[in-house]
A and B are shown apart, each in its own frame.
Chain A
Amino acid sequence: MSELEVVVTGGQEIWRGGESPYAIPSKKLGMWLFIVSDSITFGAVLFCYAYLRLASPDWPTPFRLASIENATIMTFVLLSSSVTMVAAVEAAKAGRIASSVRWLGATMLGGVIFDVLHIREWLGLIHEGLRLYHNDWGSSLFGAAFFTLTGLHMTHVTIGVIYLFIVATGFRRGKFTSDDVEISGLYWHFVDLVWMFIFPLVYLLSARIR
């Protein structure tokens, strides 16, 4: 075995077939692969955003302190919902089904609060005249990029809430296992992870400082 192989495989004969080389269920590997692909999708949109922003000298910085505060609360809610998700997974692994379902409920609640706060902010911006195709403060691409990026993320959060709901009900009825809870957790943490990039790139870099 070459040195590289040792590093990659951990020095064990895990590729010989008849078993998963990662000692995880295939479904979990599938979710990981989906996350790889989806992170590249988000990456590409973020790169587009950065590309267009670099090319536009009149990129606006319209977010007043209130917006930043709102986005900070959203970040807090999403990060905390990740912790409740972890708790749900831990409970599920320990066989405490009722507790796990409660934690899943808390996570969904976090997602819903995030969505509500976000939509409230969207409505505020729309009220101020920001549109997908238009913006009074400068480059029209600001509105396009903002709504596309955050909209894509909000869609993921919403899908996540629905997904968690399905998993929670199925888990309570014994249709799903703790593995399914863990896999839905991967998705949820990924949505959280993406927000860790959108928050500074979209909000903090467009904060109105003076």
Chain B
Amino acid sequence: MNATAERSEGPAGMSWFLKVWVVLLVLTAVEIFLAYEELPVHIMLILLMGLSLIKAAMIVAYFMHLRYERTSLAWTLVPATIFVLVMMCVFFSDSLRIVRLGLFLH
């Protein structure tokens, strides 16, 4: 089995990376634009985090070449990381309680 042959199609040279770079810059611009729209905090948070996740995914997939590696590598690395980070969200149930039960907040 030839190791290089079984990898997915390689990236189409630098022009492809420049396209990714432009998309990342555009997404950043959208984020800055959103920051100055007076949206409710939770909607803004979801939008900003969503855009950041897309940007992160693009960096991982293209700049870090994960898309062009064997799928086994992505399956080894990504689910565990996401799982741990998602579990940490449970912390927030107590953060919100502090607002409710807090004594001397100021």
* Main SS class of interface, A: helix
Tell me the residues in window 64-86 of chain A with beta carbons closer than 8 Å to chain B beta carbons.
Answer: 68, 72, 75-76, 79-80, 82-83, 85-86
- Contacting residue for B35 out of A21, A76, A197, A205, CB 8 A: A205
Minimum Cβ distance to chain A for residue B70 (Å)? 5
- Contacting residue for A80 out of B21, B56, B72, B96, CB 8 A: B21
Contact A207 B56 (CB under 8 A): no
Report the bound CA distance from A7 to B72 in whole Å: 8
Contact A12 B63 (CB under 8 A): no
Can you name the residue of chain A whose Cβ is closest to the Cβ of B32? Answer: A72
Report the bound CA distance from A185 to B66 in whole Å: 12
Contact B95 A10 (CB under 8 A): no
Given contacts A24-B73, A189-B63, A193-B59, contact A51 B91 (CB under 8 A): yes
Report the bound CA distance from A17 to B25 in whole Å: 43
A39 CB contacts on chain B under 8 angstroms: 81, 85
- Contacting residue for A75 out of B28, B35, B45, B60, CB 8 A: B28
Contact A8 B71 (CB under 8 A): yes
Given contacts A40-B85, A79-B28, A85-B63, contact A12 B106 (CB under 8 A): no
Can you name the residue of chain B whose Cβ is closest to the Cβ of A63? Answer: B35
A50 CB contacts on chain B under 8 angstroms: 92, 95
Number of interface residues of A (CB under 8 A): 57
- Contacting residue for A54 out of B73, B88, B96, CB 8 A: B96
Name 9 interchain pairs, CB-CB below 8 A, sorted by A.
A19-B3, A35-B77, A36-B81, A54-B95, A82-B21, A186-B64, A193-B55, A193-B60, A200-B31
Minimum Cβ distance to chain B for residue A2 (Å)? 14
Contact A207 B36 (CB under 8 A): yes
Contact B85 A43 (CB under 8 A): yes
A56 CB contacts on chain B under 8 angstroms: 105
Contact B48 A204 (CB under 8 A): yes
Minimum Cβ distance to chain B for residue A184 (Å)? 12
B52 CB contacts on chain A under 8 angstroms: 196-197, 199-201
In addition to A10-B71, A36-B77, A54-B92, 11 A-B residue pairs with Cβ atoms within 8 Å of each other are A19-B3, A23-B6, A40-B81, A40-B84, A76-B28, A85-B63, A90-B14, A189-B59, A189-B60, A190-B64, A201-B52
